[in-house]
């Protein structure tokens, strides 16, 4: 990109990358300016201060990784197809590797805490709706949503922290497709009747 020509979105994406690499402390204006090959003045063209950048980055993550995904899946009328599409999207490639676990680890920061809580609530509500549409009664739909979301977060954490122990969690591993299919099959399997 040409020196001095970066957009607000370039700054927010750079901030999300920094969050994934080093948490809130890594969202440093000077470091991001060097990464983007622009002057510090470019930052102030788009943002009032570092906190405004952090909030914008978190809102971008919320929109791209939750709001937009849910909106796209609302058009899928078959609940089984919708559920499989959601899990394929969620457990597939990450736009910024390690971002979700890094944000969860930074949830004690007030700005991060508010967005992570809102994202968790939105995702759990959507998952509960999906399991309800699949025929699970309340509270089973909610319990299935909680277990599914916990599996999702754990999958991403394994991918980030233990690629040598759980290589199947990495998309580059030839076994990842089978492992993902197995996980989704377990999540969507009907509850056995006594």
Q: What is the pLDDT of residue 93?
A: 75
Q: What is the pLDDT of residue 192?
A: 63
Q: Where are the chain's structural domains? A: 55-188
Structure confidence at residue 2 as a pLDDT band (50, 70, 90): very low
- Among 46-60, 78-92, 119-133, 137-151, the minimum mean pLDDT is found in 78-92
Whole-angstrom Cα Rg for the chain: 19
CA pair distance 114, 10, nearest whole angstrom: 23
pTM: 0.89
Q: How high is the pLDDT of residue 178?
A: 86
Helix extents (H) in the chain: 8-22, 29-36, 40-46, 50-62, 68-73, 79-91, 99-105, 110-133, 140-161, 176-188
Computed over every residue of the chain, the mean pLDDT equals 91
CB 65 within 8 A of CB 103: no
Is the predicted pLDDT of residue 125 greater than 90, yes or no? Answer: yes
pLDDT surpassing 80 at residue 171: no
Q: Tokens 């609530």 belong to which residue?
A: 121
pLDDT > 90? residue 166: no
**Phi and psi, residue 170, nearest 5°:** -90, 135
Query: Is the pLDDT assigned to residue 165 strictly greater than 80?
Result: yes
Q: Can you give the pLDDT at residue 1? A: 41
Condensed to tens digits (0 to 9), the pLDDT of residues 13-41 reads 999 999 999 999 999 999 999 999 999 99
Specify whether domain 55-188 bears CATH 1.10.1740: no
What is the tens place of the pLDDT at every residue in 133-152? 999 999 999 999 999 999 99
């Amino acid at each position: 990109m040409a020196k001095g020509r970066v957009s607000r979105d370039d700054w927010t994406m750079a901030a999300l990358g920094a969050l994934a690499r080093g948490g809130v402390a890594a969202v440093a204006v000077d470091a991001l300016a060097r990464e983007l090959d622009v002057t510090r003045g470019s930052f102030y063209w788009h943002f009032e201060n570092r906190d405004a950048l952090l909030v914008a980055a978190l809102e971008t993550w919320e929109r791209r990784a939750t709001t937009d995904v849910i909106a796209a899946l609302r058009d899928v009328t078959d609940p089984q197809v919708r559920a499989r599409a959601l899990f394929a999207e969620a457990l597939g490639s990450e736009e910024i590797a390690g971002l979700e676990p890094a944000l969860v680890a930074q949830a004690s920061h007030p700005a991060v805490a508010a967005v992570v809580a809102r994202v968790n609530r939105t995702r759990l509500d959507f998952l509960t709706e999906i399991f309800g549409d699949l025929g699970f009664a309340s509270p089973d739909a909610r319990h299935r949503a909680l277990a599914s979301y916990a599996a999702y977060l754990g999958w991403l954490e394994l991918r980030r922290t233990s690629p040598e122990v759980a290589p199947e969690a990495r998309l580059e591993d030839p076994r990842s497709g089978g492992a993902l299919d197995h996980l989704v099959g377990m999540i969507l399997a009907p509850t056995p009747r006594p």
